[in-house]
Structure 1
Amino acid sequence: MEIKVSLIISVFNGEKYLRECLDSVIRQTLKEIEVICLNDGSTDKSKEILAEYSKDSRFKIINQENIGLGASRNKGMELAKGEYIAFLDADDWLVDNALETAYNEAKNKNTDITMFQMINYKENTGEEKKNDWFNLDKFDKRFKDTVFNYQQTKEFLFHLSVSACQKIYKRSYLERINAKFPEGIYFEDAPFFFNIWLRANRISIIKEYLYYRRSHENSITAKCDEKFFDVIPSGEEFFKIFVETGNYEIYKEELINFAINAYRLTLNSITEDAVEEFYKRSKRQFKKIVNSPYIEDFKKYMSKGNQDTFNNVLNSKDYEEFKKLNVNSKGNF
């Protein structure tokens, strides 16, 4: 059987929602698929649930020690044999025609990347919530039923969803650019996105909701805690990508503010038990920036609020002093 789409699902303690996720895969109207399920060291009943679905020959179950989402997805990509690759998180689900719709669009237009709409589903209320990012609202009528390249999205690049699950990718394209997720950190989607987007010559969009993203109390982004320390290495990774792809000069003002804004938001939102450590890590990173070749650009292009945060972190002797400086700063959160 020719495999049209390799669907990669990394599973870590996903028993609560896993059957709903996998049942949505079984219902897919596109049948020429392989489903690569990587059980990433789960300690719940995920392994047993996955075994039930292995009766379907299209499911390939890999049980492994915990290596993290980025490394797990990379392993899935190495194993993939499909013409196209897609990702599904184990607590989310697809609409029944999702893979067929995405594949047909990508195949007919010969795209490197095709992006579709996604809906947020709030577990505690049952509410379906749409937002500008997942709606693809930045793509106006110019992008309807056409193929474009990354340069045509310059004006709104930093307002696009970085979610790896919101797209389908030509496997030969990912292999050609050696696309990988950073391993051992959270927020791996952002570096992956900028890497694949800034090299793509053929992109299309589908203004159709194909994916449901479940928001619940155990979601990675549900609680801003020590996991958010990884906005620092994630930011380092995607900053390097702009330099390596020759796009730094083009995007530097937006890039610098996008990067520093992540620190501002995290300092404002992170839990009390983690904020002091995040402040210390931020200070170390800002000192690296001061000693980098890019410091003059940071000084020139940072917004007032980002500049205040940057200077207040650097100039304070500890977190308590930073809080006082920030309260008195015009660029306060």
Structure 2
Amino acid sequence: MTIFSIIIPIYNVEKYLTECIESVLNQSFKSFEVILVNDGSTDSSGVMCDQYKDYPNVKVIHKENGGLSDARNCGIKTATGQYLIFIDSDDYWNSNHALDNLYQQIERNKDVDVVMYKQISYYMKKEKFIPNPNFYDLDCIQNHAANEVIPYLIESNNFSATAWSVAVKRTLILEHQIYFEKGIKSEDIDWSFHLFLYAKSFAATNERFLIYRKERPESITNTIELKNAQDLLFIIDKWCNYLKVNTVNQRIKQAYYNYLAYQYLILTSLVGGLSAADKKQIYKQFAEYSWLLCYHSNRKMHVIYWIKRVFGMKFTTFLVGKYAVCKE
């Protein structure tokens, strides 16, 4: 059986696609398949995918544009490997031994559900590579249950909530129907919350073999608009309600609230940067979740919490929005 299925969703990335695909095909570990999902690209990305269709371990899928989540879900349904790995088509691996490394973790931790790994961020404007500064304490992950691993990851700033930072057992995804929510941004947070709730065993490596491009001008994550705020609020609302009505281990619940509090801080900066008309559409529901700020797990959250207590939510939103603009 094939060990890894590498799913690459593709949309208008002709500048970066070859580097991404070749970084996977050049792996020294050979038990893998590559699933190229062309999500209705209007540039030459689709033609570039077809150049690989005769490779024995490459599957090429052309579909109408449905967004990143839909493309990933399509890849999941096509995959046959024991483990699924996602890589965005504008990113790439900087090592030919990435799969070797992941397979070693699987061999050491038989039947593990989730294997985590690190990345190096490439800031395109400055042309600068910055490695992820945090390291996993492997002793806090290996052979530990979710109610220990999840709080550790969130408290140590090692919970990345990104699909491209994990290798996941395919049967876990299929059994629990852990698909990506269609039509929203920040979908990786929602997906990761589901994934870690169902996972029973974990492993990790501190190897940073993924190069993650940031500040790409044409990227869908490089715009601040009403939908960004609406979708993040949707995720916060969804998971606060889930944690309220479902039986979840208390330590996991507390950790998830802490993570949602940080996302609420990000949401506050987004709302603060909106026009008055856009802000009006979202503000009432947004303000209803200001109680999340009481879950302050770091100094910044603690400061924002007290600003909100003293000056109110409107001023806090304004202040955080101005700070976010100044940081750009």
Query: Which range, TM-score by smaller chain?
Result: 0.7 to 0.9
Task: Write the deviation string for residues 79-104 of structure 1: whole angstroms up to 9, x where unpaired.
Answer: 11101110010000012111222123
Alignment-derived partner of residue 194 in structure 1? 193
1:147 to 138, 143, 148: 143
For 1:13 and 1:88, locate their aligned partners in 2 and report how far apart those are by CA, in whole Å: 15
Superposition CA RMSD, Å:
3.1
**Aligned partner of 2:137: which letter?**
D
Give the C-alpha shift of residue 61 in structure 1: 1.1
Trace 1:263-274 onto structure 2 (pairs within 5 A): 263-269=264-270, 272=273, 274=275
On the 8 A contact 1:8/1:35 being kept in 2, the answer is: yes
Trace 1:1-333 onto structure 2 (pairs within 5 A): 2-94=1-93, 95-109=95-109, 110-132=111-133, 135=134, 137=135, 139-140=136-137, 142-143=139-140, 146-153=142-149, 154-157=151-154, 159=157, 160-215=159-214, 216-229=216-229, 230-243=231-244, 246-247=247-248, 249-251=250-252, 254-256=255-257, 258-269=259-270, 272=273, 274=275, 276-278=277-279, 280-287=281-288, 305-306=304-305, 312-313=312-313, 322-323=314-315, 326=318
For 2:303 and 2:256, locate their aligned partners in 1 and report how far apart those are by CA, in whole Å: 15
For 1:279 and 1:234, locate their aligned partners in 2 and report how far apart those are by CA, in whole Å: 19
For 1:221 and 1:202, locate their aligned partners in 2 and report how far apart those are by CA, in whole Å: 31
Give the C-alpha shift of residue 70 in structure 1: 1.2
**Aligned partner of 1:224: which letter?**
I
Give the C-alpha shift of residue 112 in structure 1: 0.1
**Aligned partner of 1:115: which letter?**
M
Which deviates more, 122-131 or 20-29?
Answer: 122-131
CA shift in 2, pair 1:25/1:267, >3 Å: same
Task: Write the deviation string for residues 24-54 of structure 1: whole angstroms up to 9, x where unpaired.
Answer: 1110112221111111111111101101111
Give the C-alpha shift of residue 249 in structure 1: 4.2
Task: Write the deviation string for residues 53-82 of structure 1: whole angstroms up to 9, x where unpaired.
Answer: 112121111111111111221121111110
Task: Write the deviation string for residues 86-134 of structure 1: whole angstroms up to 9, x where unpaired.
Answer: 00100000121112221231244121000011111122333110234xx
Structure 1 runs not aligned, ≥5 long: 314-321
The percentage of aligned residue pairs carrying the same residue is 24
Which deviates more, 180-189 or 104-113?
Answer: 104-113
CA shift in 2, pair 1:102/1:279, >3 Å: farther
On the 8 A contact 2:8/2:87 being kept in 1, the answer is: yes
Which deviates more, 234-243 or 38-47?
Answer: 234-243
Give the C-alpha shift of residue 273 in structure 1: 5.6
CA shift in 2, pair 1:228/1:103, >3 Å: same
